[in-house]
Structure 1
Amino acid sequence: MNLKRKVEIAVVSDVHLGTFGCHAKQLLTYLNSIEPKTLILNGDIIDIWQFKKRYFPKSHLSVIKKVMDFAANGTEVIYITGNHDEMLRKFTDTEIGNISIVNKAVLDLDGKKAWFFHGDVFDISIQNAKWLAKLGGWGYDLLILFNRFVNWSLEKLGKERYSLSKKIKNSVKGAVKYVSDFETVATELAIENGYDYVICGHIHQPKMLRKETKKGTTTYLNSGDWVENFTALEYQFKRWKIYNYNSDKLSPFFADEDLKDMDVKDLIAAITIVQNPKKEKSN
């Protein structure tokens, strides 16, 4: 019996594979629960900024394999580059089987135009002081490690977990202009260009809101992240929803089924299948 949910589009961003803050097992649980027609990876999936050879657990490797499996089984996978995986921008417009790498995407959804991009283009700190943004990224990773220790201690004491990194990040947004009116800039630009939906990641703040100006209206959506919020976006039956792992997870699906006997050979095999699919796409 197939209990997986069919969705037209699933959008995941800011996974940060290769860092201590990534919650790959929770993401695998989610991915194992759906059958998307299109999977959009909206930036910062692999954290190349902070990548270290000595830290890339099997669960992180399994996320990559799961994406490959989706593609091999007919799912269209659109990888939109972000700032933490910006090295992939040199491969923009590359296609491997059902996987494409792009900087942005525009899709027609039931007669409405949807504009997808990561969002770092609006981040002043990255555009004007990339070295400072990278330093902040490494510091954030250390902060997450400390946060994990704090939460481990709180759990031992029977107290509620505390997102120190999230609180600090929110408190300094104004000082470093991390968000810098991100939503306003994105929605106004979308309205000016006639997009009905604008879908972003980057700021780790899951959200869905309707924005109206004198020039028109648009719906702004942000997929959040898999470091703090564990959220994704889903489009089905002509409407969007924010998926929240903590409140929406489905018990029959677990990450462990993708972790059994998983190694690099499995990943290579998955990539080979994607490059040489058994079934050709219908014209």
Structure 2
Amino acid sequence: MKTHFKTLVISDVHLGTKGAKAKEIARFLKQYRCDHLILNGDIIDGWQLKKSGSWKRKHTRFFNRVLKMMENHHTQVYYLRGNHDDFLDQILPLQIGNLRIQTDLIYESNGKKYFITHGDIFDSITTHLRWIAYLGDMGYTFLLWLNRVVNHYRFKRGLPYFSLSRYVKSKVKSAVSYIDQYETELAKMARAKGCDGIICGHIHQAENRMIDGIHYLNSGDWVETMSALAEDHEGNWQLIFYNEIDFKQLQTPEISQFKKESDLPENDLLPMKKVAFDRPGEDLNPPTFRIG
């Protein structure tokens, strides 16, 4: 039996680009079951699709996997808008069965409240100076291309995956400073909304730590680090990295420290309330949904 989480959070898949690890994330989702799947922005890269990106069959398979989770396991799916999939502004908020598409939400579980947002609304460059954001996106796209070339040769030599772009970001002082400021500002926003923590993406930097009493969680991405956030049925959060998963072990009964589906009571979930609201920044106390 596969590992069963209460909630999985993934972000920054950037489907439609060459750097998207569509096969890997589809395989990842095939190994796990969850009550709630939160797609926290930049799942589809509309910016690249307008320019040089292309949609592949493997990109469609990702959504096929999500649909199977909804159909076979009754997974509740929340697709939150990011800056690269801002075309969703034309339809949100929208609810179709177990799928909700919206701006952001407040998630309440085991007595704690988390504000969940992609994170671009706190990035003044992306929000107010869009042409600079596009320019930066071009440079980042080149860095990801170089990352693929480097890892192609590393694979041939039997070496493990190496995230070149993550290494560069860790060495550039301005990038390190930006990330620190970004995380601090998000923690402040969570406190302003009366939440215990914040869950975001956007900067492709997976993290799970406390900032001034606020639980800061970043799900990372699926073009570099290939990471996700997972919450067990006791409210504990952890980061999962694809390259650290032993897929053979996952097929055995003794697969994880987390609870299995058979261990859960039949009525583990309480009825959910509507959680979408129209635009960020208009309401510091948006609706919540409660689990367990």
Q: Which residue of 2 aligns with 1:12?
A: 10
2:124 corresponds to 1:128: no
Q: Answer yes or no: is the 8 Å Cα contact 2:114–2:195 preserved in 1.
A: yes
Cα deviation per residue 1:143-191 (whole Å; 9 max; x = unaligned)? Answer: 2122212222344355565433223334446169753601111112212
Q: Which residue of 2 aligns with 1:118?
A: 118
Distance 2:54 2:177 in 1: 31
Which residue identity is paired with 2:42? Answer: D
Unmatched 5+ stretches in structure 2: 252-270, 273-292
Which residue identity is paired with 2:199? Answer: I
Structure 1 vs Structure 2: percent identity of aligned residues?
38
Distance 2:161 2:36 in 1: 34
Cα deviation per residue 1:42-78 (whole Å; 9 max; x = unaligned)? Answer: 0000111101687322221100111122222311100
Distance 1:138 1:66 in 2: 30
Q: Which residue of 1 aligns with 2:214?
A: 218
Q: Answer yes or no: is the 8 Å Cα contact 2:12–2:222 preserved in 1.
A: yes
Distance 1:78 1:161 in 2: 30
Which residue identity is paired with 2:149? Answer: F
Q: Answer yes or no: is the 8 Å Cα contact 2:114–2:190 preserved in 1.
A: no
Q: Answer yes or no: is the 8 Å Cα contact 2:170–2:176 preserved in 1.
A: no
What SS class does the counterpart of residue 63 from structure 2 fall into? helix
Q: Answer yes or no: is the 8 Å Cα contact 1:230–1:246 preserved in 2.
A: yes
Which residue identity is paired with 1:9? Answer: T
Paired positions, count: 250
In the superposition, the TM-score normalised over structure 2's length comes to: 0.78
Distance 1:157 1:233 in 2: 31
Which residue identity is paired with 2:126? Answer: I
Relative distance call for 1:160 and 1:208 in structure 2 (3 A) is closer
Q: Which residue of 2 aligns with 1:181?
A: 181
Unmatched 5+ stretches in structure 1: 255-281
Q: Answer yes or no: is the 8 Å Cα contact 1:39–1:78 preserved in 2.
A: yes
Which residue identity is paired with 1:68? Answer: L
Distance 2:53 2:123 in 1: 30
What SS class does the counterpart of residue 126 from structure 1 fall into? helix
Q: Answer yes or no: is the 8 Å Cα contact 2:169–2:176 preserved in 1.
A: no
Distance 1:159 1:24 in 2: 22
Q: In the TM superposition, what is the alpha-carbon distance from 1:103 to its structure 2 partner?
A: 0.7
Q: In the TM superposition, what is the alpha-carbon distance from 1:249 to its structure 2 partner?
A: 4.1
User: What are the residue-to-residue correspondences of 1:230-245 with 2, within 5 Å?
Assistant: 230-236=226-232, 237-245=234-242
Relative distance call for 1:69 and 1:159 in structure 2 (3 A) is closer
Distance 2:30 2:107 in 1: 25
Distance 1:160 1:72 in 2: 36
In the superposition, the TM-score normalised over structure 1's length comes to: 0.80
Q: Which residue of 2 aligns with 1:260?
A: none
Distance 2:138 2:102 in 1: 26
Cα deviation per residue 1:121-159 (whole Å; 9 max; x = unaligned)? Answer: 111221221112112213322321222122223443555
What SS class does the counterpart of residue 190 from structure 1 fall into? helix
Which residue identity is paired with 1:12? Answer: I
What SS class does the counterpart of residue 45 from structure 1 fall into? coil
2:26 corresponds to 1:28: yes
Distance 1:70 1:134 in 2: 34
Q: Answer yes or no: is the 8 Å Cα contact 2:105–2:116 preserved in 1.
A: yes
Cα deviation per residue 1:181-213 (whole Å; 9 max; x = unaligned)? Answer: 01111112212322012100001111111122x
Distance 2:92 2:24 in 1: 29
What SS class does the counterpart of residue 5 from structure 2 fall into? strand
Distance 2:36 2:12 in 1: 18
Once superposed, what is the RMSD of the aligned Cα atoms? 2.4
